[in-house]
Amino acid sequence: MSRASPPATEADVAAAESPVRRGSGPANPVTVGLVNLITEALRVLGVGQQRYERVREQQSLEPPLSPGDVDGVVRRITADFGNGYFVTGVIDSAVYDEQCTFVDPTISFSGLDLWKRNLALLTPFLLSPKLDLLTMRRMGANANGMQELEATWALATWLRLPWLPLVSIEGSTRFTLNADANRVVRHVESWNVTAGEALLQLFKATPGPPAP
C-alpha cells in the first residue's frame, strides 16, 4: 500500500509559486569568467568611480530596526525597490549587514560596499531602466532558523552601446536575515533565463527605447 504524502508546508507552496529558476544553478565557468573580466576592466578604467563615492557616502535616513522587526525589513526593502536599487545602487544600508553575501547567476561576493562599487560600474551604461516589484512576502524560518523574505521582480533596461541592446529579466531575490531578524545577511537572485542567455541579450541590436 502506498504511503500518503505529507501535507505541503507553507514553504513548499511558496516554492511552487516562485518564478521558474532557470538561472539559479551553477553558471557556465566561461560566462562567469567573462563577467568577472568585464567588471575588473571597468574598475581599472575608473568607470563609475564618482557615482560610487556619492553612493558610498549616503547614509540611511531611517534608524536601525529593532531585533525581530521583520515587517520593518519588508517595508524598507520594498522602499528600496521603489527607488530602483538594482539600477541606481541606492540602497538602505541600515537593513544590510556590512558583510552581506550577494549572489546572482553570474557572480558571488561578500560586502555591501563591494555591491555598491559593482553597481556604480554598471549604472553609466543603463538607458531607460525600469525595475518593477511584483511580489514581496515573508517565507518564515529556514532550516537554520533564519527568517527569510522573497521578492519577485521584472527588470528591463537598454544599454548605452551603439546597437542599443535590451536586457529583460524576470526573477526573484531571497533575503536571509540575521539572528536578530533585522538585517539582511544573504541576497540571492534567481532569474528566468540562464546566465548565458542573459549575456546573449547584450549582442542583440534593437531600435532603442521609444521616444517620450
Cell numbers representing residue 44 in the block: 581599472
Per-domain boundaries in the chain: 26-58+67-203
Helix axes 49-57, 112-122, angle to 10 degrees: 140
Helix axes 112-122, 29-44, angle to 10 degrees: 80
Q: Alpha-carbon distance 126 to 165, whole Å?
A: 10
Nearest by Cα to 196 from 19, 32, 41: 32
Q: What is the pLDDT of residues 33-71, one digit of tens each?
A: 556 656 655 554 555 566 556 666 666 678 899 999 999
For residue 66, which amino acid is it? S
Q: What is the pLDDT of residues 130-187, one digit of tens each?
A: 999 999 999 999 999 999 999 999 999 999 999 999 999 999 999 999 999 999 999 9
Q: What angle do CA 101, 107, 113 make, to 5 degrees?
A: 45
CATH classification of 26-58+67-203 is 3.40.50.150, yes or no? no
Model pTM above 0.95: no
